[in-house]
Amino acid sequence: MMDLKLPSFAPPVCSVLLSGGTGLVGQYVTDGLLRAGHSVRLGGRRQPASDLTFTHLTLDPTLDQREQFAGIDAFIHLAFDHLPGRYRGGEGDDPVRFRHLNHEGSVKLFKDAKAAGVKRCIFLSSRAVYDGLAAGSVLREDMTLSPDSLYGQIKLESEQALARLSSSTFITTSLRATGVYGHHRPNKWDALFGDYLAGRPIAPRAGSEVHGDDLATAILLLLEQDANVVNGRAFNASDIVTDTHEILSLYGKAGGVSHPLPAPADHAMVNVMDTTHLKSLGWQPGGRDKLKSSLRNLAVSSR
């Protein structure tokens, strides 16, 4: 954390520009911001079917987009350009373009936001910054990192660039999120559910997850937190480790379907993210009860 003289209290922001707000994760963050009483402006390439105010925003680092931040108190950057359904490997056969847009484009947006007088900036990073660590590692924010995926490298480098822009008037924070699930449709597990309902074989796979509502709550906590606590820092956001066996068992039971399930996967192979720092701010994710509730709702809505 940078050694800065900061105000002891940061008042809640009012006007938020949210990039990537129409994506799967963005829906939860948008809902959370609105429930908390914030004014939300969506930023993106194409205007969505939404009643919210829209601002044209791109990841092109050659553009000056300072005007898009006029009247904005906080910038939450979720947008990421990738092949559909893929983050790791999302560069396809064009890693140069992938880096140009997602790193250089993100850093340019951070700089434009700061130049325009935005007070706070939160960057949605990823657990991919820990890629390459040995199985069984506990992932902590203070680790020395050298991710072995291009996705992880870009997220880490963008975090570092944002932290270097931190000042007493530009409060920056990165949130290292694990996989995000939830109740909205389209859903990240739609293809998995489709294979299960069709009786197709499914490979055992385990991973860590956090509900989109809990991710939105984490962002709100960081947004409204005392600047001294969050400025220039990164926080882990993860809740549970689950696998395709558990997910489809709960989904099938709720939907009255009993197709063969994949074998349970080895949870010990999933590196657990230490979320002590985020929880010290009051963050309390929903755990397995939230997973069960979400899968029940998804199964019922599919009938």
Asked if residue 6 lies in contact with residue 227, where contact means CB atoms within 8 angstroms, the answer is yes
Nearest to 210 by CA among 186, 234, 258, 175: 175
Q: Are 56 and 102 in contact (CB under 8 A)?
A: no
Confidence (pLDDT) at 13: 55
Which pLDDT score is estimated for 7?
39
Cis peptide before 186 (omega within 30 of 0): yes
- DSSP letter at 73 equals S
pTM above 0.85, yes or no: yes
pLDDT of residue 50: 82
Closest by CA position to 170, among listed 220, 109, 231: 231
Compute CA 218 distance to the chain's CA centroid, rounded to the nearest angstrom: 10
pLDDT for position 10 = 47
Task: Give the residues of the chain that fall short of pLDDT 70.
Answer: 1-13, 303
Give the residue from 129, 17, 44, 123 showing the smallest Cα distance to 78: 123
Q: Residue 253 is encoded by which pair of tokens? A: 């039971």
Residue 116 near residue 197 (C-beta atoms within 8 A): no
Q: Give Cα 251 to chain centroid, integer Å.
A: 24
Distance (Å, whole) CA 278 – CA 281: 5
At 6 the pLDDT is 42
